[in-house]
Amino acid sequence: MRPSGRKTDQMRKVSFERNVSKHAEGSCLVKFGDTHVLCTASLEDRTPPWLRNTGKGWVTAEYGMLPRATGERMKREAASGKQSGRTQEIQRLIGRSLRAVVDLEALGERQISIDCDVIQADGGTRTAAITGAWIALHDCLKWMESRNMVKVDRVLKDHVAAVSCGIFAAQSVIDLDYLEDSSAETDANFVITGAGGIVEIQGTAEGKPFTQDEFLTLLGLAQTGISELVALQKQVIAG
């Protein structure tokens, strides 16, 4: 039995709230159970130096956890003058995941910066951030389309979402919360497009190494879960 009482293939309740930021071109508050992440998309009329005069744009991401996102207050990373390795790794993952479904030439020489701020953490913050960031990006592009800057269906090639899976108490489970994540035997994050293309897989054996059959079971759970997430994304943007 999982601590939450969920079935092995049952995700936490997922919700998306759009347009939560007055000033951002696109925004979404995503909730995976008790993990809550605010995602905002900001349009900037510039590109990184290496893309100037190439006709291509860029999508990048920043990630952070608010001081009381967890049980005890954490110091802001800005106070120490540098980001942790974990933070840098996660924001690069978010950026890679979004760029996998964006036509950078169709975007033009502009940059969209996605900020993912964890308000409350209970496991799976990076996967929630990726899934919510896609909606913020979509809405930013819709804002641009309304001003005849781009066509959304030319820039955004597909959906992308992410979910964690792992082996907890000798059973393969999806969407680990903190209690499971902190004691999982295997922990993996899957980033997959709406068409089923694999963008990235991060998998680690925290205890004994996992087998190929166990990995394929986790992949199957992730594929089913991401299909559910993409269906939710489609429902939300159609509203």
- Annotated binding site, which residues? 86, 124-126
Map residue 167 onto helix, strand or coil: strand
The string of DSSP letters for 145-161 reads HTTTS--HHHHB-S-EE
User: How big is the chain, counted in residues?
Assistant: 239
Q: How many CB atoms lie within 10 A of CB 220?
A: 14
Cα separation, 218 vs 40, whole angstroms: 30
∠ CA 40-46-48 to the nearest 5 degrees?
Answer: 95
Map residue 74 onto helix, strand or coil: coil
Question: Where would I find the beta strands (DSSP E) of the chain?
Answer: 14-18, 26-32, 35-44, 58-65, 111-120, 160-168, 171-174, 186-193, 198-205
Binding-site residue set for phosphate: 86, 124-126
CB 132 within 8 A of CB 30: yes
DSSP 102: B
The closest of 94, 228, 103 to 153, measured between CA atoms, is: 103
